[in-house]
Amino acid sequence: MSASPLIARLVDALRCLPGVGPKTAQRMAFHLLERNRDAARELSKVLEEAMVRIGRCESCRTFSEDPRCPVCTARDRDPRLLCVVETPADMAAIESVTGYRGMFFVLMGHLSPLDGVGPAELGLDRFQKRIESEGIDEVVLATSSTVEGEATAHYLAEMVRERGIRATRIAQGVPMGGELEFVDGGTLARAITARRDVDV
């Protein structure tokens, strides 16, 4: 028996989530329809509100409902220390487990010329303004240890060092090819604590 057109649309819509294929999307759709319609309605409302109200922090570029996110407006953080990450998920991982108390800059990706992602797409003009105008002493490069992440870290390190600012790279325990959001908390905390100077 083929599904109704609306069920097919629901299944197809759920497939936009990472790691969700046709079978998983179908199970989710049937679960929501069979057992959890109230939760599905709430999910729908929150998704709609989030898509309308959540933008980017004008300072660090993470997701935020306000012009500046709670991290950028906090008074108890070190404004001379700036950690560069690829995604808001990486920022959240560092915030939750490392004790890091500096500021952030979120690239929303990494350099990937084959995919059309260059410095402009990563907001590096804004990054340059920050390192030139905010009295930053150290930039911690916490990009992933993939080939693209390493290339991005190298590019940023050159920008930073040209301006006489210390550039460090997160250290031990983060596996080559690994994504930060999937690294366990203890390993990530050690990587931030044992960061090293970047050679360019």
**Around Cβ 30, how many Cβ atoms within 10 Å?**
14
Pairwise CA distance, residues 152 & 139, whole Å:
13
Of the candidate ranges 21-30, 72-81, 125-134, 164-173, the one whose mean pLDDT is the lowest: 164-173
Q: What is the mean pLDDT of residues 2-14?
A: 89
> pLDDT tens, 71-122?
999 999 999 999 999 999 999 989 987 789 999 999 999 999 888 898 999 9
Is residue 46's pLDDT more than 70? Answer: yes
Pairwise CA distance, residues 20 & 173, whole Å:
29
Q: What is the mean pLDDT of residues 138-150?
A: 90
Determine the topology of domain 75-197 in CATH.
Dna Topoisomerase Vi A Subunit; Chain: A, domain 2 (3.40.1360)
Q: Which CATH architecture has domain 5-53?
A: Orthogonal Bundle (1.10)
Cβ-based burial of 140 (10 A; exposed 0-12, middle 13-18, buried ≥19):
buried
**Predicted local confidence at residue 1, as pLDDT:** 45
Length of the chain: 200
**Predicted local confidence at residue 106, as pLDDT:** 97
- Bridging pattern class, strands 138-141 and 78-85: parallel
Of the candidate ranges 18-22, 96-100, 152-156, the one whose mean pLDDT is the lowest: 96-100
Q: What is the mean pLDDT of residues 129-148?
A: 92
Q: What is the mean pLDDT of residues 154-177?
A: 84
Is residue 53's pLDDT more than 60? Answer: yes
Which residue ranges make up each domain of the chain?
5-53, 75-197
Q: What is the mean pLDDT of residues 158-180?
A: 80
The overall pTM is greater than 0.75: yes
- Which H helix or E strand runs over 26? helix 22-35
Query: pLDDT tier at 189 (50, 70, 90 boundaries)?
Result: confident
DSSP 59: T
